[in-house]
């Protein structure tokens, strides 16, 4: 039962109290579907059980500190973990869609040179409940407007493949028809390119989407801006990509942040056309969002030219708009301020 994996601490309390087994299912539904953040809101539970849970296990595993709203409607949520760390989550409104971008780690160990989160270092992995709860809070926040979460992207703080077990459990809860009930095809995970985890993810039965952060088709350049690239070559990465599409028959997305003078030249388009040679590959272009990293954004004109050149060479490609820049909520900008300046700590794969 998904609830047993997701709420082991709650199950322990229920067993100690001798509660009937169905109570766990009620609690699971209250958290994942009714979106309660205080046990007193879980009115299906007896009052004495609500009181006991309130004393031992908070209904909310994350404290919501602030909600920032951008001029384009994007919302950024600042959470505080039980041990005092800050993480950020973003809700992006688009026509007919409400996408929540969630974090899987406190900080990030990957140190991509253009990413604000990469400047933070890493403190710890988030638990499955902390990961999923970010979506629950956003869903609860937008519900009074008559909106609901339509998509989830695991593209916030952290490298999700280094927190594989808890990330996958959180996504299964979000997908669970007895839980949050979001279709698997509306959930996407982004990785900086850990090839063993890409292959493992391809073998999972759920139909979650995958995105690989590429950012240049050339290995030496990729190592320069993405230290993780030194672990495996681009040919090795593309072998894993081919395994993914062959195994799943699903579209595979490649994320590409356009950096002025770094990866936005015609030779880069030509290199991408040679590299992304499968009809299931799709290139997602995004102009760099400002962070204090020394990089500059490719001009809007050049970004459009890059997109057109890619399409002319037969690539399936889109240029995504940046959202939430005025509240530092755009892609690559998440950097909970209390973590700034702390050195990176190596992470061992989960």
Domain boundaries, the chain: 2-56, 63-339
Q: Helix or strand or coil: residue 125?
A: strand
For the chain of 350 residues, list the mean pLDDT of each consecutive stretch of 10.
Answer: 91 96 97 98 97 96 94 93 94 94 92 79 94 98 96 95 98 97 98 96 98 96 92 96 98 96 97 97 90 83 97 96 60 50 37
pLDDT at position 282 is 98
Q: Please answer whether residues 41 and 34 qualify as being in contact, where contact means their C-beta atoms are separated by less than 8 angstroms.
A: yes
Three-class DSSP labels, the chain:
CHHHHHCHHHHHHHHHHCCCCHHHHHHHHHHHCCCCCCHHHCCCCCHHHHHHHHHHCCCCCCEEEEEEECCCCCEEEEEECCCCCEEEEEEEEECCEEEEECCCEEEECCCCCCCCHHHCEEEEECCHHHHHHHHHHHHHHHHHHCCCCCEEEECCCCCHHHHHHHHHHHHHHHHCCCCCCCCHHHEEEEECCCHHHHHHHHCCCCCCEEEEECCCCCHHHHHHHCHHHHHCCHHHHHHHHHHHHHHHCCCEEEEEEEECCCCCCHHHHHHHHHHCCCCCEEEEEEECCCCCCCCCECCHHHHHHHHHHHHHCCCCEEEECCCCHHHCCCCCCCCCHHHCCCCCCCCCCC
pLDDT at position 120 is 76
In this prediction the pTM is 0.91
pLDDT at position 324 is 55
**Structural fold of domain 63-339:** TIM Barrel (3.20.20)
Q: Name the β-bridge partners of 92.
A: 99
pLDDT at position 133 is 98
**Residues designated as active site:** 88, 331
Q: What angle do CA 281, 205, 203 make, to 5 degrees?
A: 60
Tokens 């999972």 belong to residue: 204
Q: Helix or strand or coil: residue 158?
A: coil
Q: Please answer whether residues 79 and 102 qualify as being in contact, where contact means their C-beta atoms are separated by less than 8 angstroms.
A: no
pLDDT at position 328 is 55
Q: What class has domain 2-56?
A: mainly alpha
Q: Please answer whether residues 190 and 167 qualify as being in contact, where contact means their C-beta atoms are separated by less than 8 angstroms.
A: no
């Amino acid at each position: 039962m998904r609830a047993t994996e997701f709420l082991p601490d709650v199950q322990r309390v229920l067993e100690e109290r001798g509660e009937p087994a169905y109570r766990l299912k009620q609690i699971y539904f209250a958290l994942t579907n009714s979106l309660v953040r205080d046990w007193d809101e879980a009115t299906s539970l007896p009052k004495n059980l609500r009181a006991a849970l309130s004393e031992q296990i908070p209904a909310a595993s994350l404290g919501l500190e602030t909600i920032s709203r951008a001029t384009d409607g994007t919302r950024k949520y600042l959470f505080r973990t039980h041990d005092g760390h800050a993480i950020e989550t973003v809700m992006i409104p688009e026509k007919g869609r409400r996408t929540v971008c969630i974090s899987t780690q406190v900080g990030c160990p990957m140190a991509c040179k253009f990413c604000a989160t990469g400047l933070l270092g890493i403190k710890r992995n988030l638990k499955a409940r902390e990961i999923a709860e970010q979506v629950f809070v956003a869903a609860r926040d937008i519900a009074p407007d008559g909106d609901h979460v339509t998509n989830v992207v695991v593209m916030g703080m952290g490298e999700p493949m280094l927190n594989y077990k808890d990330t996958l459990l959180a996504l299964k809860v979000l997908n669970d028809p007895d839980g949050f009930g979001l279709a698997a095809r509306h959930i996407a995970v982004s990785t900086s390119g850990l090839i063993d985890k890409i292959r493992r993810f391809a073998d999972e039965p759920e139909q979650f989407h995958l995105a690989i952060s590429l950012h240049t088709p050339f290995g030496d350049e990729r190592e320069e801006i993405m230290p993780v690239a030194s672990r495996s070559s681009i040919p090795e990465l593309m072998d894993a990509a081919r395994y993914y599409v062959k195994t799943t028959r699903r579209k595979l997305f490649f994320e590409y942040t356009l950096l002025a003078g770094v990866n936005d030249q015609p030779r880069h388009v030509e290199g991408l056309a040679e590299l992304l040679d499968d009809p299931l590959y799709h290139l997602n272009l995004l102009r760099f969002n400002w962070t204090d990293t020394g990089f500059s954004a490719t001009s809007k004109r050049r970004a459009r030219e890059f997109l057109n050149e890619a399409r002319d060479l037969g690539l399936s490609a889109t240029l995504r708009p940046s959202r939430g820049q005025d509240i530092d909520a755009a892609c690559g900008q998440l950097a909970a301020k209390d973590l700034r300046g702390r050195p990176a700590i190596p992470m061992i794969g989960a």
